Amino acid sequence: MTPQLDRHLIKIVVSLTALFSSALVDPSEEQSKTQWVAPVTEAPKKNPVASNESSIAAGQKIYLKRCVACHGKAGNGDGPDATDLGIHPAKLSDPAVREETDGALFWKITVGKKPMPSYGTRLSPTDRWNVINYLRSLARR
């Protein structure tokens, strides 16, 4: 083999290797498959806000203003922004989400997870609990 052909072959092998490894390890893909789990210290937190009519109404207001664009009216993850951004927001109506504790949901809403914003500074703690009370009322429908 001529040295030139040799170098050519090496180039092909190197670029093929790069191609395959990038296809195999896509970090964003990796993340979306791992479940988002709240820390064990947060999950047992009790909801201090009673789930009454006024709390649910307050939660609904916040949800329709801040969450509906991604999570959809019925919490099915089909809001208009979800399609635009090409994301899959959690289906809040899903049994798996319903089974999560209020504390776990509170922590998730507080810290967020890209592209979902964190609401720790955007919403008061009471409003975050109100939204959770609203989500629970959606699930009962």
Positions in the binding site for ligand HEC (CB under 6 A):
32, 36, 66-67, 69-71, 81, 87, 89-90, 97, 100, 105, 108-109, 113, 115-116, 119, 131
Among residues 3 and 95, whose Cβ is nearest to ligand HEC? 95
Rounded to a whole number of angstroms, the minimum distance from the CB of residue 110 to ligand HEC is 10
- Backbone phi, psi, residue 37, to 5°: -120, 130
Rounded to a whole number of angstroms, the minimum distance from the CB of residue 121 to ligand HEC is 12
Rounded to a whole number of angstroms, the minimum distance from the CB of residue 8 to ligand HEC is 43
Among residues 97 and 139, whose Cβ is nearest to ligand HEC? 97
